[in-house]
Structure 1
Amino acid sequence: MRERKMDFQLLEVENGKPIKMWTSGVPVEDEARRQLMATASMPFIYRHIAVMPDVHLGKGSTIGSVIPTRGAIIPAAVGVDIGCGMIAARTTLTAKDLPDNLHRLRTAIEHAVPHGRTTPRAGRDVGAWERTPAEVDAAWRALLPGFNRITEKYPKLKNTNNYKHLGTLGTGNHFIEVCIDEEDRVWFMLHSGSRGVGNAIGNLFIELAQVDMREHLANLPDRDLAYFKEGSKHFDDYVEAVGWAQDYARRNRAVMMHHVVEAARSVIGKAFAADVEAVNCHHNYVQRETHFGADIFVTRKGAVSARKGELGIIPGSMGAKSYIVRGLGNEEAFCSCSHGAGRVMSRNEAKRRFTVEDQVRATAHVECRKDRDVIDEIPMAYKDIDRVMEAQRELVEVVHTLRQVVCVKG
C-alpha cells in the first residue's frame, strides 16, 4: 500500500505532545516555535497541537494554533478578544450598482456603526452608542439573563462596556469592508468580537487561573499558561462566561451587519437583498468537540472551524484578497483552518518601518483611511495571503475570492 505524503510539517517536543504545522512556504518566527513548544509541553494536551499558516507570536499561546485539551482549559490561550471572528453576506448587487463616489458609501457606514475609541475625558467614547438602536436593545435582552447570572458571581464585570458596545466595531485589526467577488457580485464583510465585556471576562479569568495556580506558576513554561482543571472552583464559571461572550460576539457582528446594509441602502439607489449567502464564524474561542473518538475541548486561537462542508472566512490584509472557504474536514488539523494572513511584524515595527506614503500606495485601489493611525495595518505587515492559502490546501477549498473596494477601520 502506498503511504500518503504528509501535508504538514512535524515538530517533535521533548516531554510533550508533537506539533503538526501547515506552514509550508510561509515564514514562522523562532519565538512562535518556542511558544508552541511550551504549550505542547502541558500535560493535558490531547494528541498534538495543530498550527495554521498564519501562525505568529501571541500572548500566552501562539496565534494561529489549535489547542486540544482533556480535562483543562487555558484562559490565556482563548485570549481576551473572546469570540472574535468574521461575518460576510453576499448581496444581489453587482459592482456596477455601486456609486462612483465610494467615499460616500464609506462615510455612511462609518456613521452607522460606532468604531474606534476615545477616552472619557474627551466626552462620549466614539466607539460606543450614545443612544442604542432597537436592534441593539433586542440583542441585549437576549443576552441579559446570562449576563446577570455571571455578574451575580463576579460583580466587577457589571462595570464594563457591555450594553453600549453591542453592535460596535472596536479598534486594531477590526474592520468593515465592501468587497467584489470573482463574478463582480457585492459582499459586505466585517471583523469584530466581544468588545469591552469580553476583554474584561478574559482578563478576570486569566488572573483567577494564575491565583489558583500561584503555588505552581514557577513550574509553568509561562505564567500565561495557567489553567483551570475540570472540576476545579472556577472551571465551570469560566466555561459559562466564555460561552456567553462568544454568543455576544456573534450577535455583535449580526447587529453591525444589519446597520452596514441599511447604510448602504441609504447611498445606493437600488433595492437589494443581502442574505444570498451568509457566514458568521468565530476564530478566538473554545468549545467541546469530538475528535478521534474523544470528547475534548478545542481552543482555536486565531483559527476557524473547517469541518467538511462548513463555510468559513479567511481575510487578507486591508490591501489584499479575502476568501470564503469550505472546510475539507481534515481531522489531523482538528477540522480547522487559518483565520487570516497573519502578521509578519509587530504593530510598533510596522509604524517604524513604513510611512503614510507607503500606506497610500499599498491601498490605492481601496476607499479607506490613509493616515498615521492605520500604518500598523499596512498590507506589508502581513504574510502573503496567496502563500497562506497554498499552505492549507488540504484544509479548505476556495468558494469565493473577494477584493475589497471600501474598508472602514476602527
Structure 2
Amino acid sequence: MNRSTAFPVALTGSRDRVQMWADETEVEQAALQQLRRVAALPWVHGVRVMPDVHVGKGATIGSVIAMNQAVSPSAVGVDIGCGVAAVRTSIRADQLVDLDLLRASVESAIPVGFNAHDELPKLRRFGMEAGVDKLFGRFGSLDEKVQKLKSKAVGQLGTLGGGNHFLELCLDQEDRVWITLHSGSRNIGKTLADRHISIAKSLSHNRGLVDRELAVFLEGTPQMDAYKHDLWWAQEYAAASRALMLALFKNAVVNHFEALHVQFDAPINVHHNYVNEEQIDGRNLLVTRKGAIRAGAGDLALIPGSMGTGSYVVRGRGNPGSYFSASHGAGRRMSRSQAKRMYSANDLAQQTTGIECRKDAGVVDEIPAAYKDIHQVIEAQKDLVEVVGHLRTILCVKG
C-alpha cells in the first residue's frame, strides 16, 4: 500500500461516486469492476471503499454503500451480522501460565467448526435467558423456508464456526490481557441471506442488471419489509452469539486463573456485515457495510489482522467523507485456495511462532501471509480512526 497517497481517491470510471482509502493499483481488477457496477446502480448515492478491500460475492468486501430507498442483500453478505467483540481483563502478562490447557478449555466450552451446543438451557446461567427466549420467540415470524432450522439455530448460538472466525487471547502495550473474538450468524444467517437474494433476483426491476447478484429490494414493498424484518433478527442473533461466546470465554479464563479473581472491563461488540438507516450528506439513506465498521465520533471498535499479527483497538473520528466508516480488518490479499497452494503447515508454524494455536494443514488458508499488512491498513485510515492500542496475539482458536 502506497503510504504517500493522500486518501481518499476517486475510483477511475466511477464518476466520483466511489471514493477509496486504498491504492487502486493494488486492488484486484475483479474487485474494481464490482465497485463500478455497484456505483452504476440507479439507487446508489455513493460508495466508500476501505483499505482492506478485496473481491467478494456480488458486492466487494471492504465497501460501504449508501442507497436511496433500496438495499442489496449481497451488499450485506451472507454472514449477516458478522462482527467482533473484545474485553480487557485484569490479568497481566507475567501471570500467564499453561496456555495450552487454557486453549483446550476454551475449545471445550465453545464449539468450533460444524459443532454446536447440545442444549441451550445450560448456557443461560450468564444472565441472558430473557434475551435468548425473546430472540427465539420471534423465530416463527421469519421466512417460512427457515422454520425447520430452529433447533439448529438454537444449538449454534454461542458457537464459533470456521473460516476467518477466531477466539483469541492478546496482550496490549501495557502487557494487559485481552479476550477477542470474531463470529457471525452461522447457518441461519446464511440461509436467510441466500433466500432473500434469490427473491430479489426474481423481481422485475432487477432483470436488466449487468450483475444479478446486485439485485435490490425497494422501500415500501412487501419484499423489502420481509427482508428487513429477517435482517434485523439475524443481526441481533449474531450480536447475542458473540455476547454468549464472550461469557463462555470469560468463564474459562476465570476458572483457569481462579486464584487471580479476574476482573473484566466493559466489552466492545460491533457488526461489520450489516445494514443501518443513517443520515448521509443530509439525506436519510440505507447504509450497508460489508467488511466495514461504523466509526462515528468516539465509537470504540476492534480491527483484527490475522492470527499472527494481532488486532487494533480504535476510536472512530466520525469522518463524514467515509460515511462514518472504517475497515473491518486487514483483508485478504489472496484467496483461500491460493493460500493452500502456496503455503504448508510448516509455513504456518513458522509464521505463528510463539502463539498457542492450531498449526495443521486444516487452517493453512488462514496463514498470516494470506492477509494484507494490518499496520499499513491502519496507517491508510488515520483520518477515519484513532488508534487506542495494538493487541498482540498469544493464543488463537480456529474452527
Aligning the two structures, in what range does the TM-score lie when normalised by the shorter sequence? over 0.9
1:40-96 per-position Cα deviation (integer Å, ceiling 9, x unaligned):
0000111x2100000000000000000000110001111110000000000111111
- How far apart, CA to CA, are the structure 2 residues paired with 1:274 and 1:406? 19
Structure 2 unaligned blocks of 5 or more:
none
Structure 1 residue identity aligned to 2:88: R
Q: Which residue of 1 aligns with 2:53?
A: 55
Structure 1 residue identity aligned to 2:39: A
- How far apart, CA to CA, are the structure 1 residues paired with 2:101 and 2:6? 50
Q: Which residue of 2 aligns with 1:120?
A: none
1:277-307 per-position Cα deviation (integer Å, ceiling 9, x unaligned):
4210000000101122111100000000000
Q: Which residue of 1 aligns with 2:13?
A: 13
Q: Offset at 1:23?
A: 1.0
Q: Which residue of 1 aligns with 2:164?
A: 173
2:39 aligned with 1:40: yes
- How far apart, CA to CA, are the structure 2 residues paired with 1:282 and 1:108? 27
What secondary structure is seen at the aligned counterpart in 2 of 1:394? coil
Q: Which residue of 2 aligns with 1:27?
A: 26
Structure 1 residue identity aligned to 2:393: Q
1:190-236 per-position Cα deviation (integer Å, ceiling 9, x unaligned):
000111111111111001101224x743x212110111111122101
- 8 Å contact from structure 2 (residues 170, 310) kept in 1: no
Q: Which residue of 1 aligns with 2:141?
A: 149
Q: Offset at 1:24?
A: 4.3
Q: Which residue of 1 aligns with 2:99?
A: 102
2:202 to 201, 206, 211: 211
Summarize the Cα distance change of 1:373–1:404 in structure 2 as closer, same or farther, 3 Å threshold: same
Structure 2 residue identity aligned to 1:13: G
2:325 aligned with 1:336: yes
Summarize the Cα distance change of 1:272–1:142 in structure 2 as closer, same or farther, 3 Å threshold: farther
Structure 1 unaligned blocks of 5 or more:
118-126
Structure 2 residue identity aligned to 1:116: G
1:100-139 per-position Cα deviation (integer Å, ceiling 9, x unaligned):
x21001101000101111xxxxxxxxx2111222327554
1:73 to 65, 71, 74: 71
What secondary structure is seen at the aligned counterpart in 2 of 1:270? helix
2:239 aligned with 1:247: no
1:346-398 per-position Cα deviation (integer Å, ceiling 9, x unaligned):
00000000001000000012100000110000000000111101110110010
What secondary structure is seen at the aligned counterpart in 1 of 2:293? strand
1:301-344 per-position Cα deviation (integer Å, ceiling 9, x unaligned):
00000001110110000000310100001101000000000001
- How far apart, CA to CA, are the structure 2 residues paired with 1:274 and 1:8? 41
Q: Offset at 1:12?
A: 4.3
2:88 aligned with 1:90: yes
Summarize the Cα distance change of 1:134–1:197 in structure 2 as closer, same or farther, 3 Å threshold: same
1:131 to 119, 122, 145: 119
Q: Which residue of 2 aligns with 1:123?
A: none
- How far apart, CA to CA, are the structure 1 residues paired with 2:382 and 2:24? 12
- How far apart, CA to CA, are the structure 1 residues paired with 2:334 and 2:302? 23
What secondary structure is seen at the aligned counterpart in 1 of 2:113? coil
What secondary structure is seen at the aligned counterpart in 2 of 1:173? coil
- How far apart, CA to CA, are the structure 2 residues paired with 1:63 and 1:174? 16
1:363 to 317, 330, 352: 352
Structure 1 residue identity aligned to 2:40: S
- How far apart, CA to CA, are the structure 1 residues paired with 2:259 and 2:86? 20
Task: State the number of aligned residues.
Answer: 389
- Over the matched positions of the two proteins, sequence identity in percent amounts to 44
- 8 Å contact from structure 2 (residues 277, 284) kept in 1: yes
- How far apart, CA to CA, are the structure 1 residues paired with 2:217 and 2:102? 47
Structure 2 residue identity aligned to 1:44: W
Q: Which residue of 2 aligns with 1:407?
A: 396
- 8 Å contact from structure 2 (residues 10, 16) kept in 1: no
- 8 Å contact from structure 1 (residues 93, 272) kept in 2: no
2:272 aligned with 1:283: yes
1:186 to 167, 177, 183: 177
What secondary structure is seen at the aligned counterpart in 1 of 2:138? helix
Q: Offset at 1:272?
A: 3.7
CA RMSD of aligned residues (A): 1.6
What secondary structure is seen at the aligned counterpart in 2 of 1:31? helix
What secondary structure is seen at the aligned counterpart in 1 of 2:210? coil
- How far apart, CA to CA, are the structure 2 residues paired with 1:159 and 1:346? 33
Structure 2 residue identity aligned to 1:30: Q
- 8 Å contact from structure 1 (residues 56, 343) kept in 2: yes
- 8 Å contact from structure 2 (residues 80, 274) kept in 1: yes
Summarize the Cα distance change of 1:381–1:112 in structure 2 as closer, same or farther, 3 Å threshold: same
What secondary structure is seen at the aligned counterpart in 2 of 1:405? strand
1:351 to 330, 337, 340: 340
Structure 1 residue identity aligned to 2:290: K
- 8 Å contact from structure 1 (residues 26, 391) kept in 2: no
- How far apart, CA to CA, are the structure 2 residues paired with 1:260 and 1:376? 25
Pairs within 5 Å for 1:284-323: 284-323=273-312
- How far apart, CA to CA, are the structure 2 residues paired with 1:275 and 1:58? 36
Structure 1 residue identity aligned to 2:344: T
- Of 386-395 and 20-29, the range deviating more from structure 2: 20-29
Summarize the Cα distance change of 1:36–1:308 in structure 2 as closer, same or farther, 3 Å threshold: same
Q: Which residue of 2 aligns with 1:220?
A: 209
Structure 2 residue identity aligned to 1:256: M
